[in-house]
Structure 1
Amino acid sequence: MVKVTVCGAAGGIGQPLSLLLKLNPKIDELALFDVVNVPGVGADLSHICSNSTTSSHLPSAKEDKTALADSLKNSDLVIIPAGVPRKPGMTRDDLFNINASIVQGLAQGIAETCPDAFVLIISNPVNSTVPIVAETLKKNNVFNPKKLFGVTTLDIVRANTFISQLFPKESKPTDFNINVIGGHSGETIVPLYSLGNSKQYLDKLSEEQQKELIHRVQFGGDEVVQAKNGAGSATLSMAYAGYKLAESILKALDTPNVVECTFLNLDSSIKGASEAKKLVGNLDFFSLPVKLGKSGIEEVQYEILDKISDNEKKLLEVAVDQLSKNIEKGVSFVKK
């Protein structure tokens, strides 16, 4: 029996994400939590003739913690897209104060109710919210770094799509699986186009075209914000990305050698994490390809850092500098 909980299930990301999860045959129970509108979402999804049952959980008052506890009880995997969306002119940093409190409250609920669950963080800014969850779980003495994932999969999805769009006659997005390392905002995002089958396409681009491609991956979210004219940010593509990582984690429970990039805590208990940490400016959190297994993150594939191009090394330096501030912001929020 596999139970998955979505915290923020009635939101712009939460609804399509919940729909995708409802269709997954590996999931037996889907629990939906939100502070508004979630009964309607739950009723709607419950009519779908897939294997999983659906339950919805809405607090009766602001102080009511039972709804969250009920949604999390016996959960194997918790996905958090909760928070306010980015609006035009708003940076991910602007979101921090609002979303940090929301995420911390949900992390506290996980610590008290389902501390052994896999936890996927979508709520922005991921570079700071993942450290917030880690610190909250540490405070409760239940932190397992192998089971905490910052969802950076959307950067990979964009990297695959955007290079394919430059070569529509020769490729399609599913031909690629670009590793994207670093973090999940602006210049902390480092797509590694110089590796794998994307290198042959990258080499066909001028230096200016390469810069434009990388910039588009780093700031792809802005395209959506502008196209929606202030009515929202990336929700459908983000839901797909969150689902893609969740699907891989569930697949890894009974399939060996599943590899995904994720923003993780480079804790020494994870194989390869200490080596990775030395190569990324001693940061405690960083997105790298990891090998997944029954216990979560089994190994960090840090060797990839020795293979990147000189240009990517420069991008990495910028990412490390910015990430250190983002991470510290998250850690300080909990400690204060």
Structure 2
Amino acid sequence: MMMSITKGSIQNYSSQFEQNAPLVQSLAEFIGTCCPKALIAVGTNPVNSMVPLVSEVMKRKGAYSPNNIFGITTVNSVRANTLAAAALGLDAECVVVPVVGGHTETTMVPVLSQAKPCSEFTPELVEKITRTVRYGMINVAKVKTNSADSLCGAFAFARFVISLVKGLRGYQGIVECSYVRSRVHPQLKYVANPILLGPAGVMRNFGIPKLSDYENCLFDNLIPILISDIQRGEKYVGVFDPPICNLCEEMPERCPNSVCTRNPTC
């Protein structure tokens, strides 16, 4: 079962959530009643909040399994793979860049330091690719004013669903990045990271890859934003769980927007 409903401005996630949440909740209740063992792929934005919402609805229906609910973030990986491949002079199909965190411009981190087959990028190129991947959805929405979706998004949705079906059919080695419930980070209930798909949904969670200093900085800054997004989805259905553990008293310094912020003379 795949959910993909698009309403509201992509630049206003609160408004988008308020418009999409009733429809997503209704669909989740229907699935929980009529097909409780379904694998649910959620592509409705804001995914950061919709996946927790769906999870809590399924809990109420007595049909919850954390391995069966996925937030589709594949479009971020597609963009990262394409940009990294162009920089390396390779085909996009030959490059894999994990994208971790969440599914908004301030919560996703392309892990270029772990790109395969090669992760040799200059700091300037890393920041350029990271910025382009993070703001990809907003840039597309500006170009295509009549639709928040794009062909890239449709391709990414199809790719994830095909991977899900391959896993169900017993194909081996089906790995995708997806936003799922996990314990891979002590402060986050839900995180996007590479997972192995199989007949039971999530067969293995590979966790967050080793990050560079720059990527760690980005990840540290996304934590409070992602916690707030998760709580928004939970509160909509009357769940007021506290975070897994408290945020640090001293928040990390904000990452520079570009290398020139660090070096004003460049």
The TM-score normalised by the length of structure 2 is: 0.84
Please state if 1:218 is matched with 2:125: no
Residue in structure 1 matched with residue 7 of structure 2 by the alignment = 84
* Uncovered stretches (5+) of structure 2, i.e. residues with no partner: 240-266
Q: How does 1:55-134 map to 2 (within 5 A)?
A: 78-84=1-7, 86=9, 90-134=11-55
Mapped to 2, the partners of 1:208 and 1:194 lie a distance apart of 13
Specify which of 220, 223, 231 is matched with residue 146 of structure 2.
231
Please state if 1:146 is matched with 2:67: yes
RMSD, aligned CA: 1.7
Q: What is the number of equivalent residue pairs in this alignment? A: 238
Please state if 1:195 is matched with 2:100: no
SS in 2 for 1:197: coil
Structure 1 residues 213, 248: CA separation in 2 closer, same or farther (over 3 Å shift)?
Answer: same
Deviation at 1:119, TM superposition (A): 0.4
Residue in structure 2 matched with residue 319 of structure 1 by the alignment = 222
SS in 2 for 1:84: coil
Residue in structure 1 matched with residue 90 of structure 2 by the alignment = 171
Deviation track 1:33-64 (CA, whole Å, cap 9, x = no partner) reads xxxxxxxxxxxxxxxxxxxxxxxxxxxxxxxx
User: Contact conserved, 1:121 with 1:151, CA < 8 A, in 2?
Assistant: yes
Specify which of 270, 274, 277 is matched with residue 185 of structure 2.
277
More relative contact order, 1 or 2 (CA 8 Å, 6+ apart):
2
Mapped to 1, the partners of 2:98 and 2:4 lie a distance apart of 23
Deviation track 1:114-143 (CA, whole Å, cap 9, x = no partner) reads 111110000000000010100111111111
User: Contact conserved, 1:193 with 1:199, CA < 8 A, in 2?
Assistant: no
SS in 2 for 1:335: coil
Residue in structure 2 matched with residue 259 of structure 1 by the alignment = 175
Structure 1 residues 92, 164: CA separation in 2 closer, same or farther (over 3 Å shift)?
Answer: farther
User: Contact conserved, 1:178 with 1:198, CA < 8 A, in 2?
Assistant: no
Structure 1 residues 199, 256: CA separation in 2 closer, same or farther (over 3 Å shift)?
Answer: closer
Please state if 1:295 is matched with 2:211: no
User: Contact conserved, 2:6 with 2:148, CA < 8 A, in 1?
Assistant: no
Deviation track 1:190-211 (CA, whole Å, cap 9, x = no partner) reads 1110013364442xx3x33322
Runs (4+) off by over 2 Å = 90-94, 163-167, 196-201, 207-210
Deviation at 1:331, TM superposition (A): 0.2
SS in 1 for 2:15: coil
User: Contact conserved, 1:160 with 1:178, CA < 8 A, in 2?
Assistant: yes
Q: How does 1:7-18 map to 2 (within 5 A)?
A: none
SS in 2 for 1:186: coil
SS in 1 for 2:195: strand
Which is greater in Rg?
A: 1
User: Contact conserved, 2:97 with 2:112, CA < 8 A, in 1?
Assistant: yes
Deviation at 1:316, TM superposition (A): 0.9
Structure 1 residues 178, 323: CA separation in 2 closer, same or farther (over 3 Å shift)?
Answer: same
Quick one: percent identity of the two aligned structures?
29
User: Contact conserved, 1:85 with 1:232, CA < 8 A, in 2?
Assistant: no
Mapped to 2, the partners of 1:116 and 1:156 lie a distance apart of 28
Specify which of 149, 156, 160 is matched with residue 81 of structure 2.
160
Residue in structure 2 matched with residue 19 of structure 1 by the alignment = none
Please state if 1:243 is matched with 2:164: no
Deviation at 1:109, TM superposition (A): 0.7
Mapped to 1, the partners of 2:14 and 2:217 lie a distance apart of 23
Mapped to 2, the partners of 1:322 and 1:198 lie a distance apart of 32
The TM-score normalised by the length of structure 1 is: 0.67
Deviation track 1:220-245 (CA, whole Å, cap 9, x = no partner) reads 012211212x2112332111111111
Deviation track 1:153-212 (CA, whole Å, cap 9, x = no partner) reads 000001011223334xx222112111111000012001110013364442xx3x333222
